[in-house]
Structure 1
Amino acid sequence: MSKFKYHIMTVTIIALIILAGCGNENEAESSDVSKEMDYTITGLEPGAGQTETNEIAIETYDNLEGWTQDLSSTGAMLSALDEAIKAEKPIIITAWSPHYMFAKWDIKYLEDPEGVYGEEEDVITIVREGLQKDAPEAYEILDRITFELEDVENALLDAQELEMDEVADKWVEENKDTIANWTEGLDEVSGESFELVTTPWDDALFSGNVAKKVLTDFGYDVELTPVDPAVLFEAIATGESDASLSPWVSQTHGELYEQYEGEFEDLGPNLTGAKIGLAVPSYMEIDSLTDLKPKK
């Protein structure tokens, strides 16, 4: 064998040994991280929708065998996240967007190749039938209203210190150009009543309060009422309420959407990128649920 061929073979063998070592090291790191987290997902309240979805994930992924959830409350989960990040320790939490957790901490979703948590969703604006004829200015404003995910999450962080109507007022004041685009070319009204309904979720309360502020400044007498999602769809379908910016489709409120489809008008998304899943601090060197290890 020539010295050149011998040299090439030696280099190749060394490279393979290094790669194998890196692979074993990464696998060991992943195993250690899972063990350090005690094979536990820091979760929400018992009975919450995502709590049940987490159980499905544990059953679906073979590498999550032996994993459990630590259930208490959203506040307790976020406190645990804060403590873990301050200490740069590993933690895996139940997450959803939009939520202020993504504005306050540097965290990332873990990939979900089995699709347990579903695809990203849209938050849509729906209005009662006949609204375009009865209140064309409000209809047009609502049709133009859209939000960026990051803006909503930053606003929800502000809501930890302020009331939601104050957060909406602040956002409208800081986004005058956006509001001008929503109302451009429309004539103000004078005291016409308008009924908005919203789910009681924070992101929906924010968008609902922004819409209320904009419509009120435009001359409408606006009432904003938080209700259960089923009541919301029924109120729009029957004409009892005029509009909502709250529904998540096509999964979260998909059944209600289908149940009342044809009895309301869908103006399309006011927010894209809504989702649920499991998240970890960005400093953790794992990217997928499949990077976790089963409990031995």
Structure 2
Amino acid sequence: MDLASEEDKEITIGAFNGWDESYAAAYNTKYALEQDGFTVAVESFDAGPAFTAVSQGDIDFIMDGWLPVTHEDYIQQFGDDMEAQGCWYIDAKNTIAVNEDSPAQSMADLADMADEYGSTIYGIEAGAGLTRMMQDNMIPTYGLEDWDFKISSTPAMLAQLASSTDAGENIVVTLWRPHWAYDAFPVRDLEDPEGAMGAGEVVYNFSYAGFTEDHPQVSQLLKNLVISDEDLASMENIMFSDDHYGGEDPDGAVAEWVEENDSFVSDWKAGALAG
């Protein structure tokens, strides 16, 4: 891929506030483009303003469009003014996670294992869609009305997850993929035989309409991007966990991750990540 042949070397990427995978993908793309002489800016937006900005050509692309559910309304509203630039992650979902060595294998097991988990599920913010899904779907579906669903914050949930796994104690938390907790802690998802947590989603890049013609090589780079669960969790872990960069210096975090995963960028540019 001859990225150096592109004449316009100014690129602006939109990332979603609070969405860790958005920054991991954006800053890895920034790194790859800067290798070939581009000047790249990553700007932070809430989802609505981000889709507005890319549809109007104020930014070049966003990397965190979730389909078919989360961002469906934005695609319907702005789709005529955008171009899809490839799907890079296929396992996005809300879920329930436990420590790896705990007994439950399925959400259906929990009702009979209250003593193992102290009848407690650790959740996140009250206003999160995941919290509403727990209250409306998961808890009644699996008969956990007598459990203590602790609604607090994402940092509080992660702190409890760290404390419990360090102590070798069983724990149940609300979680979602992608997330760096899967790299940082010994956790696994529970099966959801009733589908109470909803179907999975996929993550797309979206550019302004005409971007492919303006930037054919960058467009191909975006379409080449495929990030596995393992790679994405480790990217996010280095970028965001308190044991590493804690959300500070994302460029430094990406440089460290690329050094440890030295074939990723070359495979990406060669279109070999899907293999």
Q: TM-score, normalised by structure 1?
A: 0.48
CA distance in structure 2 between the aligned counterparts of 1:158 and 1:122, rounded to whole angstroms: 23
Correspondence list, 1:138-287, <5 A: 138-159=218-239, 160=241, 161-162=244-245, 163-184=249-270
Percent identity, please.
Answer: 31
Higher helix share: 1
CA distance in structure 1 between the aligned counterparts of 2:169 and 2:113, rounded to whole angstroms: 9
Residue matched to 1:50: 130
2:175 equivalent to 1:95: yes
* Structure 2 unpaired stretches of 5+: 1-108
Higher RCO (C-alpha under 8 Å, 6+ residues apart)? 1
CA, structure 1 residues 138+43, in 2 after alignment: closer, same or farther (shift >3 Å)? same
- Deviation of 1:179 after TM superposition, in Å, equals 2.1
- Deviation of 1:30 after TM superposition, in Å, equals 6.3
1:122-171 CA-to-partner distances (Å, cap 9, x unmatched) read 21122222112111111111111221110111121112222222122223
Q: Secondary structure, in 3 states, of the residue corresponding to 2:156? A: helix
Given that residues 138 and 196 in structure 2 are in contact (C-alpha distance below 8 angstroms), is that contact kept between their aligned partners in structure 1? no
CA, structure 1 residues 85+32, in 2 after alignment: closer, same or farther (shift >3 Å)? farther
Residue of structure 1 aligned with 2:162, choices 74, 82, 106: 82
- Deviation of 1:58 after TM superposition, in Å, equals 4.4
- Deviation of 1:59 after TM superposition, in Å, equals 4.8
- Deviation of 1:86 after TM superposition, in Å, equals 2.7
1:91-130 CA-to-partner distances (Å, cap 9, x unmatched) read 2101111212111221111111121212332211222221
CA distance in structure 2 between the aligned counterparts of 1:89 and 1:167, rounded to whole angstroms: 31
Given that residues 56 and 116 in structure 1 are in contact (C-alpha distance below 8 angstroms), is that contact kept between their aligned partners in structure 2? no
Given that residues 123 and 157 in structure 2 are in contact (C-alpha distance below 8 angstroms), is that contact kept between their aligned partners in structure 1? yes
Moved more, 105-114 or 57-66: 57-66
Query: Aligned partner of 2:143: which letter?
Result: N
* Structure 1 unpaired stretches of 5+: 1-28, 186-269, 272-296
Residue matched to 1:111: 191
CA distance in structure 1 between the aligned counterparts of 2:111 and 2:127, rounded to whole angstroms: 29
Q: How many residues align?
A: 159
CA, structure 1 residues 119+31, in 2 after alignment: closer, same or farther (shift >3 Å)? closer
Residue matched to 1:129: 209
Given that residues 58 and 65 in structure 1 are in contact (C-alpha distance below 8 angstroms), is that contact kept between their aligned partners in structure 2? no
Correspondence list, 1:34-73, <5 A: 34-73=114-153
CA, structure 1 residues 58+115, in 2 after alignment: closer, same or farther (shift >3 Å)? closer
Given that residues 42 and 77 in structure 1 are in contact (C-alpha distance below 8 angstroms), is that contact kept between their aligned partners in structure 2? yes
CA, structure 1 residues 38+184, in 2 after alignment: closer, same or farther (shift >3 Å)? closer
- Deviation of 1:89 after TM superposition, in Å, equals 2.2
CA distance in structure 2 between the aligned counterparts of 1:179 and 1:79, rounded to whole angstroms: 33
1:209-238 CA-to-partner distances (Å, cap 9, x unmatched) read xxxxxxxxxxxxxxxxxxxxxxxxxxxxxx
Residue matched to 2:60: none
Moved more, 59-68 or 105-114: 59-68
Given that residues 43 and 69 in structure 1 are in contact (C-alpha distance below 8 angstroms), is that contact kept between their aligned partners in structure 2? yes
Query: Aligned partner of 2:200: which letter?
Result: E
